[in-house]
Amino acid sequence: MDANLAFDALADPVRREILGVLAAEDECSAGAIAERITSVGRTAVSTHLKVLRVAGLVGERREGRFRYYSIDPAGSARDVLTLLHQVFRTGLQSVSDAVPDEEPRSRHAVHGPGTA
């Protein structure tokens, strides 16, 4: 399973930061991401992007000389979540309850607000 790669990819703080940027911007070019990541240089961001892509956590869309990256919710992230839920039998309700409105930019009501 490539969940191994995904776990490894998720272990790096910079990569999680990149995922955060992607989650907030929905889609971003490599350069735009690198601008928002100040802890490391553009080269490192590029490498991290590759790791995330190979791990199946983000998707890539090429357009001209730009490459737009975006979160891939259907990728190996699902495996990771499933695995985690198998090991830690955390109630899904509790988890969704712990994710109220911490994202002002996201209007995705995936988890039923209030009482689902």
Partner DNA sequence: CCGATCTGTCACCCACCACTGACACGATAG
Partner DNA sequence: CTATCGTGTCAGTGGTGGGTGACAGATCGG
SS3 of 55, please?
Answer: coil
Give 24 or 30: the residue with its C-beta nearer to DNA: 30
Which residues fall within 8 angstroms of residue 31, CB to CB, at 6 or more apart?
Answer: 42, 66
Q: Supply the minimum distance, in Å, between the C-beta of residue 71 and DNA.
A: 15
Contacting residue, 7, 16, 36, 50, with DNA by CB under 7 A:
50
**Cα–Cα distance measured from residue 13 to residue 37, given in angstroms and rounded to the nearest whole number:** 11
Residue 23 is encoded by which pair of tokens? Answer: 């989650």
Which residues, listed in sequence order, are joined to residue 61 by a DSSP beta bridge? 68
SS3 of 33, please?
Answer: helix
Residue 44 is encoded by which pair of tokens? Answer: 């490192």
Candidate ranges 35-43, 44-52, 59-67, 72-80; the one touching a copy of itself (CB under 8 A): 72-80
Binding region for a copy of itself (CB under 8 A):
1, 3-4, 7-8, 10-11, 13, 16, 19-20, 22-23, 57, 71-74, 77-78, 80-92, 94-96, 98-99, 102-103, 106, 108-112, 114
Binding region for DNA (CB under 7 A):
11-12, 14-15, 29-32, 34, 39-44, 46-51, 60, 64-67
